[in-house]
Structure formats: structure tokens, C-alpha cells
Structure 1
């Protein structure tokens, strides 16, 4: 019977705690149903025993000003099977001095063979422990660039909904927390329990990628005026058959120097940047128009529809038609 401790901290998102506490409660009820179905006397014991803990056992104020009283202090938890770290709306910006006790506590439990799960941007706290260095992780796709700058040693896989490496479990954007919950139900329970709960919660257990939901984030606050001008020019002329040499000429740089400087400023090659601009335009057209794929291919600057389809699927994991079926307004 696994013990699950939710680590509450100031301004954490309450949904990251309450949603999974409810989900584990549903799992416990399903196990009772399985027992009744098999004619086994119902036990008062439950599979998942959950509690909320906080530094010093202090009440905390969750996101939205919601007061939350923990069951006890984290320091009182000497052993547990799973610790779950709820997310923060914009990713935690605290330094180690502010939350050092939490980080040391997480390291201690990991060393005692407890699994640690980070929900969405809770990955920032887990990464601050250093435990994720050299390990695979995921997080909310909207904060990928910041995460990579802050934790360059982590092998971030932002397209993934869920990862586990060395007993450290991470989930993607908010609703991926349910996928982590299902994973834990199968881990400590059974595939049958996981399937029953996925249906009860209306969560697709086969969802493995965030890629179809990801939108490109174009870095522009880098301070390089020439590269910013190139970015704006590419965004204005992407539908034309522009080349990287055209962009370099526009800002008066050699092709080689332009590519190196662009990569340094934007953290992306100019060719990949142009592709992302075109793909974002294609997504918008697929979502908001009835234009056929060949028309959209030409509108976003590609001549060959098969090349466009291949690039689109590479970046989103969906064909243009599948994307339209999923997201069209």
C-alpha cells in the first residue's frame, strides 16, 4: 500500500494536489469494486494513502489565494513511497536559499528509494535539487526555453507527456498530471486498475506527446538589433521563396557570420526559425480556414506539398488533415 505525500508550498496550484488526490481516491474505490466482483470480502484498507505536507507543517496560500492546511510537516515524514510536487503557475523562481529545506528533503527521500514525481512546472523544483542532472525529464512546453537556460544539464524532452528516469517522474502541461496518476496506478496497482480509472477520469492513457499542442516561442529580447531585424523580415516574407542568404543580405552580414550570430541570439538556426514561422502560419490556416492543403502549402512558402506534409508531421506528430480535424474552429 503506497504512501503518497503531496509537497505543498506557497502559490502552488491546488489542482495539482486535489485532482490527483481525487484520482487516487477513485482508484481505491475501483479496487473495492474488483473485490466485490470476485466475491472477496471488502477490506477497509486502501491502496493509496495520501497526505499533504508542507515545510514546518505551516498553512500555505495556493494559487488564487486559496488557503490550504497540510496534514502535517514534511519533516515528520520519515519514509514514503512517492512524493508529488504540484506545479506553479509560471514556474518556480525561488532560489535555493528560500526553499533549501524542501530541496534537501526531496533528496533525502530519493536516496531512501522513494519515487519523486514533478507535475508540470513542479519540474523546476525537482531540477533545483540537482537530481535531474544528466537525466531525462519533461515539463510544461510553454516554459521550455527558460527551463533549458536554468537547467542545462537536464536532458529535457519537452515533446513528451511523461518521463521517468531513475525514479524521478515528470509530466508535461497541467492535464498531463492525470497521465502521471495513471502511470502510478499501474505501477503500484495493475494495468486493469489503470484502464478502469482512465475511463472514469476520461483520460487517454496512450497520450504520449505534447507536440500537437506546442506553439513556437520566438526569442526576441536578445538585444541584437540586426538579428531582430532579420527575424521581423523573415516573418514578413516567409511566404516567398526566401533563403538564408537573402536574410543575411538584408541585414548586411555575410552568410556564415549571420548564421552564427543568429544561433547565438535566438538559440535556433535561421533555417529552423523560418520553418517554425511557416508551420505556425500553416497551423493558423488549418484551424481557421477551409483552404485545402495544397493552397496552404503555397501560402506558407512551400512549393512541394509532400515536403510540407513531412515537415508538418515531424514537428506536430500529426498530418495536416489530422491537425485540422483536432483543432479547427
Structure 2
């Protein structure tokens, strides 16, 4: 039998509140990957480190790790205010060439370390605004499930630890072995977008009452024609002033905001009814179904029909 050419040590940080199914699931996942790969492939050595054991940088640096993973958060707020010892360890490990990874809320810990400054990363789509508020220096792309920036790898949702593991297996073994493992586990290894899973929930807590008034108007009248001048008049603003206030409060232009509200309503109809795509298009304010399809694909990443096939098994009228 050929000799194993390399071992990859993966350190999974079990911080307070971490999702335990992810902590131990990653450990088992990588051990299972070893059984599915060829003898010539790299072998993963997953270990779990408890944050309670982190008493200083020196102790942590005795572990010769190739990869450090910050798993998702389940409960508590440790991820918002992690120990300085852990942050120092991440920086020290990264400086020695360790690949640092985060999943879901683990990105908050990684951001606190300063290693994400100027980078584009991903996290759970529901955490985008919170992460942006805490760390405006970080660029966030919640459309992606995994963003591999070579020395920093970030993954999106709570269960995207599996996507992260697949990405690591592809990097250190090969894509064929990733597909073989996926088939064995009956897990899809194809590329996905977080957009498929997102819901658009309006934020009214930004403190701008006039913008909130317009948001509520759009929420009620999304199915009717909307133009910026009329919305600006509604709150007694000039067009330019209104757009500036709206973007500052919501992070979206009025046109893009209207599109997000309409597409969210369309998703709900596609998931929960048997109405045709043409009917859904009309009900959410699009008279031209082709325009509706283009906007839907731009926002969700799937055609309306493909979205329905993924989430609704009911045959439309």
C-alpha cells in the first residue's frame, strides 16, 4: 500500500455556545472522509479544543495545526465578545500559515481578530446586518455558501459546516473524492447559493420615521405601480434627499427595495400556492412576466419554476 503523503490537522474550536452537532459533526465528517479517499491522499486529523482550556497564546501554539475552524453559534453571546486569548491565538496561528475558517456566527469571532479587514466573507444571511454594524470594515456576500480566500475560508448557514468540509476535502484531496463522499452520505456536493434560502424581512428600527412610513406604504401597495417621485412626495422630500435618506436607512435604493419586497411575496406564493408563474408575476406587480423572471433570477439565483421545484412539490394550476 502506498504511504500516506500528508496529514492535515484540523482544530475545531469549541467555544461557549457553539453548535455541538457542528463541532463533533465536522470531526466525524473528516474522519469519514479518510475512509473514502485513496491511500495517496492527505489524511485529516481533526481535534476539538475547548475554549475553557485556552489560558494563553503559548499553550495554544503548542498544537501544530494546519486549519482552525470556528463553528456556528447555537446560544449565548460569546461569539460577540470572545476571549482575547482566543483572538490572539487566531492571529498567531494565521501568521504561521494556518488556514482560518469560520461557519455562520463564527465569522464574528474571526472579524474581532482583525483578520477579515478588507476581505469579502460570508455568514448566515440573517446575520448580515448585525455583522455589518459591528464590523463595517468587512465586506459581506451572503449569496455565497462558502467563500475560499485561500488563507481564510468562511461558510454561511448553520449547516454549511458540511459545505466547508467538502471544500477542504476538495482542496487537500480532490473533487472526485468529494463527489464520492457526497454520494456515500447522500448529500449534494453541487454548488449552491444562500440566496435560495433567504427571506427578505424589512427593518424598521433604523430610526428614520419618514423612511419607515415609506417602507410600510411599499409593504401594503407593492402590487401597484410605484415611482420614486410619488414616494418622495409622500414624506415631503425632494427626490434626491429621499433617495439619500432611504439608502442610508435600508441599505437599498428605493427601486431595489421594491424589487426585494415583490420577490419575497412571489417566493411565498410560489412556495405556498398552485398559482402559475404568470399569475404570481401579476399579483406581485409585474405585468411583463419576462421582466419578473429576470428580476427573480437576479435576486434569488434561480428561475421562478426552479425555485418552486426546490421548495414546493405541488403542481401549479
Partner of 1:63: none
Cα separation, partners in 2 of 1:184 and 1:94, compared to 1, 3 Å: closer
Partner of 2:20: 14
Cα separation, partners in 2 of 1:46 and 1:320, compared to 1, 3 Å: closer
Which residues of structure 2 form unaligned runs of 5+?
1-6
Contact 1:56 1:74 in 2 (8 A): no
Contact 2:125 2:157 in 1 (8 A): yes
Distance 1:255 1:300 in 2: 25
Q: How does 1:305-324 map to 2 (within 5 A)?
A: 305-324=289-308
Cα separation, partners in 2 of 1:94 and 1:296, compared to 1, 3 Å: closer
Distance 1:284 1:312 in 2: 13
Partner SS state of residue 18, structure 2: coil
Shift of 1:251: 2.1
Shift of 1:55: 3.4
Partner of 2:3: none
Partner of 2:130: 146
Partner of 1:252: 236
Q: How does 1:70-219 map to 2 (within 5 A)?
A: 75=60, 77-89=62-74, 92=77, 98-219=82-203
Distance 1:74 1:199 in 2: 40
Distance 2:42 2:296 in 1: 46
Shift of 1:56: 4.9
Greater Cα offset, 218-227 or 48-57: 48-57
Shift of 1:273: 1.0
What is the CA RMSD across the aligned residues, in angstroms? 2.2
Shift of 1:90: 6.5
Of residues 22, 47, 50 in structure 2, which corresponds to 1:51?
Answer: 47
Greater Cα offset, 153-162 or 183-192: 183-192
Shift of 1:198: 1.4
Cα separation, partners in 2 of 1:290 and 1:196, compared to 1, 3 Å: same
Distance 1:76 1:148 in 2: 31
Which residues of structure 1 form unaligned runs of 5+?
59-72
Contact 2:80 2:109 in 1 (8 A): no
Distance 1:319 1:197 in 2: 29
Partner SS state of residue 6, structure 1: strand
Cα separation, partners in 2 of 1:21 and 1:74, compared to 1, 3 Å: farther
Contact 1:90 1:121 in 2 (8 A): no
Shift of 1:180: 0.8
Contact 1:107 1:129 in 2 (8 A): yes
Q: What does the per-residue CA deviation read over 1:34-78, in whole Å, with 9 as the maximum and x for residues that have no partner?
A: 45xxxx9xxxx98111211123527xxxxxxxxxxxxxx962634
Shift of 1:17: 0.9
Cα separation, partners in 2 of 1:74 and 1:15, compared to 1, 3 Å: farther
Partner of 2:253: 269
Q: What does the per-residue CA deviation read over 1:244-288, in whole Å, with 9 as the maximum and x for residues that have no partner?
A: 222222222222221111112222211111111111111111111
Distance 1:46 1:116 in 2: 18
Contact 1:139 1:158 in 2 (8 A): yes
Of residues 31, 48, 51 in structure 2, which corresponds to 1:25?
Answer: 31
Shift of 1:93: 5.7
Of residues 274, 277, 284 in structure 1, which corresponds to 2:268?
Answer: 284
TM-score, length-normalised on structure 1? 0.86
Distance 1:56 1:276 in 2: 43
Partner of 1:295: 279
Contact 1:53 1:74 in 2 (8 A): no
